[in-house]
Amino acid sequence: MSTEHRDRLLEGIGWKARGDRVPEFPNPRPFFPRLKHSIKLIPLFVRVALHTFVEWWNGREAFIDIFNVFRHFTFTGVPLGGIGSGSIGTDFRGGFNRFSIIPGIKEQTDTQKCNQFIASVHSKKTFELIYQSILSCAEFPSTVLPKWDSTIPAEDVRYRGLFPRAWQEFRLGSSGITVVIEHLSPVIPNDYSDSSLPLANFDFHVFNDSPEEVEVSITMAFRNGTGNRKWNDEHLCTSQKVQKETQVVRTLSHTVKGMPVTYAIGTEEKNGAKVTTCLFDPNGTGGRLWSDLEAYGHLSSYDNLPPKPKELGIAVCSSFFVPPDGSHTTQFSLSWYMPEVHFGTAERFYNRRYCRFFNGPDADEVAAAICRHGLQNIEKWQEAIEKWQNPIINNQKLPEWYRSAIFNELYYIVDGSTVWFEYDPDWRTEENLISEQTEKQFREYGRFGYMESWEYFMLNTYDVHFYSSWAILKNWPEIEMSMQLDFADQVDRIDNGTATSLADGDQMLIKSYDRIPHDMGHPTKYCIQEHRLSVADPWLHTNAYILHDTGSWKDLNLKFVISCYRDYKMIAKDREDKDQLLEFFLGKCTKIVEDALESWDKDKDGMIENDGFADQTYDVWKMTGTSAYCGSLWLAALTCYIEMLKQAGSPSKNYEGKLLNAYDAYITKLWNGRFFKFDELPDNSKIVMADQLCGFWALTAMDEPVQVSEEKMKLALETIFKYNVQMYNDGKCGAVNGFLTSERVDGSSIQSEEVWAGITYALSAMMIEKNMDEMAFKTSEGLFESIWNRFPLQYQTPEAITSDGMYRALGYMRPLSIWAIQHALDRRHKK
């Protein structure tokens, strides 16, 4: 590989940083409400605080723990792992951190000194040590492995991330040696096997720019646990060396939160490389391993364990010669085999998706097999990822920031505390509403879940998934179909248990009939709550969210109807079982539409009304009467329902009349000549809402008719761009949710003052649909540049930011909506 090619690895499209990077705003802070809002929120805060304390007292976690807010990690890099396999975070300076191998949990652990690559360079001629260092410029406590006392100067480290790959460059002082590591996880569109693997590959390119031939040793070390002290010594550790032909793997079996897990590091003896392995004490000095590398360039290959260790480290070393002005490549793979897992209740155990492809009674052998699979397929996966990404990356008509963002924002599909399980027939004994249609889908593609946020403990939050689902639909459509069918089965479910609404203190049912649940449950609760019918395991107990009674929310059911038709049209229309699927969705949607007309259309004009509280995804932003947001969703849902009726050959004329009436009412009540008013309250007439066209965006993305003129929609988009984007911090932050025509931010709500990343991306998608490309890319560029460059929030995109450097809900689902932008571009290209 030439020096020119080496530079291209670090200088191509992607998120880039040097080891000494200092962003413009290095210390953004977690959200805290302004005094004005704090006073209003005192009753809510008291109820939330009391709820949090009661949950803690009973050994549970609140669904949102306001006293344990996630802090950003300035040096976050591309996470490792397949979809739903559990992920491992990285530090762009070098190292691993913030594990998420416990279902539903993202741990806030620091970069571990034990989990590192070490480079050693010796003269071939004299075998004099030229250089040895950890491949990291991170700072570590001096008391941890004190003999590992050398790191790389920060200015000699470069990084480029383009999910699911990343490249790190380390210049080894004056030795003339440069090491470039490519990180790769096998996350590949329309792949439902390799994409599920608990695996990361590391492709090393070692360059020798010196006039002397050298021996280079690359060592990968890893310890048990996740960096969380709770799991460091909870069980005995064992290790095996597993060799098959030229491939050498060292395993480490232990438990994390009581669940067996086997780590494995693998490499291959090829191209003249010599492989050695060893064990080490992660609580010791690290002297034996370090001195072996210094003296010999390889590890002492002993297999005897200390007596019954509860903490253990493993290391694998590949040593090879690099000629002067030459290069050498070697590969490592890291796997973490944790096949059977449970949530907090431990009432039910789940097999991860990859158990379909890699499973067996000998965990060491299976973990080693996954490593070998990685080593054998790295080039195949590189080609597959490039084939997927290159059409976008090489499209010079697209802005450079977008070509990075579209893939890097996809990090959450792996790192969103994601789970992907194989179907278990026993589920139907406890979940008797799982339909045959859903069971068939689960058997083939499994069951999927991801958290709303790293700090919002709710699985598959549906009002948010409406936006983020575009990333899944575009890349893994069968996962999206599994999720939609999963929610369809919930329509008829009832949970007569009660809870106290934290917003108003009223008692409410956990889950009402004919209502889509807000979420599929809480991953960490492990006690049965009083008055509830089921144990607190996701899917068995839905609606962990109890801020409001979401049975009264207007958007959840409407988003479900829209998504049923979208998924039928875009995923299932060419399937053999399309008619059965349409009939299944139509049955659920009929109940929802009829109930909406009966319960929510108070004045019988065909248009639904909000009830004067925050009865939709903006859950502290109240809407009264007909609102732009829910009204547009209702028009979209009714349109989709009519289209499903027509596809099924059922009468639709009655609903077509209602749709026309609803459009008339919506336009009459809300259109003011420049935009659709927030709702019917006169006090809110000056609010320009960024998300006012949400339902029309959904219809446009499906290529379905919108009975609002193009002129009106473009005028509304231009107004949003003028006020919510350009007048908010000069367009540097994206689209603020609410802005007043009096030219100031709408301060009526906490959420009206925020910029929501996922909403900004969705807004840009609508602009693209209307051929307003320059406006669209300017809208989202400010957002992306703020989160990923001005603030150090890369690979941890929050739900919300503000121009003064606050963020809320790190690691969030909704920003995956950026894939709606790509969908709009793809639609145009096809036309």
Q: Cis omega before residue 164 (within 30°)?
A: yes
In a domain, 70, yes or no: no
Torsion angle of the four alpha carbons 442, 445, 451, 452, in this order, in degrees rounded to the nearest 10: -90
Q: Please say whether the beta carbons of 764 and 779 come within 8 A.
A: yes
pLDDT of residue 279: 94
Dist CA 623 CA 609 (whole Å): 9
Is the per-residue pLDDT at 2 higher than 80?
A: no
Dist CA 387 CA 188 (whole Å): 10
SS (H, E, C) 584-649: HHHHHHHHHHHHHHHHCCCCCCCCCCEECCCCCCCCCCCCEECCHHHHHHHHHHHHHHHHHHHHHC
Dist CA 495 CA 196 (whole Å): 33
- Considering only 97-106, 394-403, 520-529, 579-588, which range has the smallest mean pLDDT? 520-529
Residue 43 banded pLDDT, cuts 50, 70, 90? confident
Q: Which residues, 6+ apart, have CB-to-CB distance to 187 below 8 Å? A: 82, 83, 163, 164, 195, 385, 410, 413, 414
**Domain end point (choices 389, 418, 440):** 389
- Considering only 51-65, 265-279, 642-656, which range has the smallest mean pLDDT? 51-65
In the three-class reduction of DSSP (H, G, I as helix; E, B as strand; rest coil), residue 390 is classed as: helix
User: Rg of the chain over CA atoms, in angstroms?
Assistant: 27
Question: Which H helix or E strand runs over 72?
Answer: none
Sequence length of the chain is 831
Dist CA 251 CA 244 (whole Å): 14
More confident of the two residues 65 and 595: 595
How many domains does the chain divide into?
Answer: 2
SS (H, E, C) 34-55: CHHHHHHCHHHHHHHHHHHHHH
- Considering only 29-38, 182-191, 676-685, which range has the smallest mean pLDDT? 29-38
What is the percentage of the chain residues whose pLDDT exceeds 70? Answer: 97
Residue 532 banded pLDDT, cuts 50, 70, 90? very low
pLDDT of residue 527: 43
In a domain, 611, yes or no: yes
Angle of CA points 505, 511, 512, to nearest 5°: 100
Q: Please say whether the beta carbons of 314 and 239 come within 8 A.
A: yes
Dist CA 808 CA 757 (whole Å): 11
Q: Which amino acid is at 352?
A: R
More confident of the two residues 62 and 657: 657
Q: Please say whether the beta carbons of 98 and 70 come within 8 A.
A: no
pTM: 0.96
* pLDDT single digits (tens) 686-745: 999 999 999 999 999 999 999 999 999 999 999 999 999 999 999 999 999 999 999 999
- Considering only 83-97, 459-473, 571-585, 639-653, which range has the smallest mean pLDDT? 571-585
Question: Which H helix or E strand runs over 511?
Answer: strand 507-511
Q: Which amino acid is at 221?
A: A
Dist CA 820 CA 826 (whole Å): 10
CATH number for the domain spanning 102: value is: 2.70.98
* pLDDT single digits (tens) 178-207: 999 999 999 999 999 999 999 999 999 999
Q: What is the rounded average pLDDT for all residues in the chain?
A: 95
What is the percentage of the chain residues whose pLDDT exceeds 90? Answer: 90
* Residue 730 φ then ψ, to 5°: 55, 30
Neighbours of 414 (CB within 10 A): 25
pLDDT of residue 534: 36
What is the side-by-side strand order in the sheet with 806-808? 29-30, 806-808, 800-801, 755-756
* Structure tokens belonging to residue 663: 């459009």
In a domain, 240, yes or no: yes
In a domain, 630, yes or no: yes
Dist CA 536 CA 523 (whole Å): 8
Torsion angle of the four alpha carbons 439, 441, 446, 449, in this order, in degrees rounded to the nearest 10: -90
In a domain, 313, yes or no: yes
In a domain, 133, yes or no: yes
Is the per-residue pLDDT at 528 higher than 70?
A: no
pLDDT of residue 302: 63
In a domain, 629, yes or no: yes
In a domain, 738, yes or no: no
Beta bridge partners of 755: 736, 801
**Domain end point (choices 613, 642, 669):** 669
In the three-class reduction of DSSP (H, G, I as helix; E, B as strand; rest coil), residue 370 is classed as: helix
More confident of the two residues 306 and 701: 701
pLDDT of residue 51: 86
Q: Which amino acid is at 655?
A: Y
Question: Which H helix or E strand runs over 294?
Answer: helix 287-296
Beta bridge partners of 100: 87
Dist CA 534 CA 608 (whole Å): 33
Average pLDDT over residues 595-619: 96
The range of the structural domain enclosing residue 315 comes to 78-389
Neighbours of 327 (CB within 10 A): 18
**Domain end point (choices 669, 688, 723):** 669
